[in-house]
Amino acid sequence: MKTILISGGTGYLGKHLLGVLVDCDYTIILLKRKTSLLEPLINILNKLKVYDIEKDGIKKVFLENHIDVVIHLASTYGRSGESLSEVVASNIILPLSIIEEAAMVDKCVFVNAGTSLNRFTSTYSLSKEQLVDWGKHFSEMGDLNFINLRLEHFYGPNDSPNKFTSYIINSCLNNKKHVPLTWGAQKRDFIYIDDTVSAIVIILKYAFQNFIGFQEFDVGSGKAVRIKEICDLVHHLTGSSSVLDYGAVSYRANEPMYLQSNTSKLTELGWVCGNSLEVGLVKTINAERKNLGNDGE
């Protein structure tokens, strides 16, 4: 039985991925911080082996277990006032500490949840791309096999309220009088959470088939949609009375105007995006509407 070590498993993507992996024929180890809340995983905790980074350290995990694959999902976005050093510690130093241990395991594969953003878009994207540089270095030295996932904007029910999709959906459901937005000309690739998870599961199977070296996979729907189009669609699907105030917010510095995944590598592995944008939004809206207690509307 293969053993998978997951960091960031208590986050949104992590809990959805774990919910699928625990029913597969894998031994699952969760590496978490002592401050991480386990409530989202309460129904599957008995199927996990859990280590605290601060209490147990990373070396102990590798000494006590033969790790076949590491899935690194933990990230700090810098949206909550974290300092540059805190972003670097979370996005570079921590995963490098894991990589150092994984590099001593024969044929271990490190799967990194990266970003499709240009490295100079933000401190977050720069730190994530710098980790990929290290992954390339280790793989070129023959010490580690490294797969980088260039994640697009995944979304779904009960996601962080700080995410764009959650913001526009909740604003419309609550009929917020004015919803300040940019002009919405920028294009983004949105992928429903279930499709993100299914893509990672397929990549995992690929990783177990004696994968060697470095590889990148785009993980998205493969379709770019204008922000204004998705906002208008959410507004329509929710039947909202909100006024979408386009142009009230300036584009951020280094705003990427076009992001679209190339899913050809995933398609070759047999992956299919199962939810269109509208279907995914309807599922998300219905769940959020139920959370608000007006699911009958």
Provide the annotated active-site residues.
Answer: 124
| Separation of alpha carbons 167 and 152, rounded Å | 17
Please give the structure tokens belonging to residue 7: 């960091």
Handedness of CA 15, 17, 19, 24 (dihedral sign): negative
Contact 182, 249 (CB under 8 A): yes
Residue 18 token pair: 């774990």
Q: Is 147 helix (H, G, I), strand (E, B) or coil?
A: strand
**Separation between Cα atoms, residue 149 and residue 141, nearest integer Å:** 21
- Asked if residue 189 lies in contact with residue 153, where contact means CB atoms within 8 angstroms, the answer is yes
Characterise 146 by phi-psi region: left (phi > 0), alpha (psi -120 to 50), beta (else).
Answer: beta
CB 202 within 8 A of CB 269: yes
